[in-house]
Structure 1
Amino acid sequence: MEGKVNSPADIGIIVRRKRKADGLTLADAAAMCNVGYRFFSNVENGKPTAHIGKILQVLSCLGLEVTILPRGWKNE
């Protein structure tokens, strides 16, 4: 799973796709990542006030990582 992220909603889309690709229910994914069901749901729904530390925890738990690049960067 990869994609450009410009908003919390973009993160939510990627998290939901990965969870479903892994065959996990929302409840199972939340338990596996050691966060509450409501928090996991908020991440998937792009809640802009979700705590970044816990979002990073969820991403790591799902086998995802964040890479920050300068705007316009091209991998050659």
Structure 2
Amino acid sequence: MQPPGSVNIRDAKALGQLIRRTRKQQGLTLETLAGLCGLSIRFLSELENGRDSCGFGRIMMVLDALGIDLVAYPTEETPS
């Protein structure tokens, strides 16, 4: 069972949507967020648009700057 308010992230597009939504809720521009996490506006734009090739370490920097915790739960296995 996942905590209230949590979001299932199954692909890069869903992660990008979460990041964009959180950034806008916090009233941040791409430029401001880029300054907060030390990354380029281009990278952030690609991340928000679901580009698959964004590096995990840089993604974690963005999540940290936005105050988003990444928590993973194994999916329940169904018996064969």
Q: What TM-score results when the alignment is normalised by the length of structure 1? A: 0.89
SS at match of 2:7: coil
Aligned residues: 73
Identity of aligned residues (%): 33
Is residue 3 of structure 2 the alignment partner of residue 12 of structure 1? no
What residue is the counterpart of 1:63 in the other structure?
A: 67
Structure 1, unmatched stretches of 5+, are: none
Partner AA of 1:39 in structure 2: F
Which whole-Å CA distance do the structure 1 matches of 2:6 and 2:33 have between them? Answer: 19
Q: RMSD value over aligned CA atoms?
A: 1.5
Runs of 4+ residues deviating >6 angstroms: none
What residue is the counterpart of 1:29 in the other structure?
A: 33
What residue is the counterpart of 2:49 in the other structure?
A: 45
Which whole-Å CA distance do the structure 1 matches of 2:18 and 2:24 have between them? Answer: 10
Post-superposition CA distance 1:32-71 (Å, at most 9, x none): 1110010111110010000011001100110001111110
Structure exhibiting the larger radius of gyration computed from Cα positions? 2
Structure 2, unmatched stretches of 5+, are: none
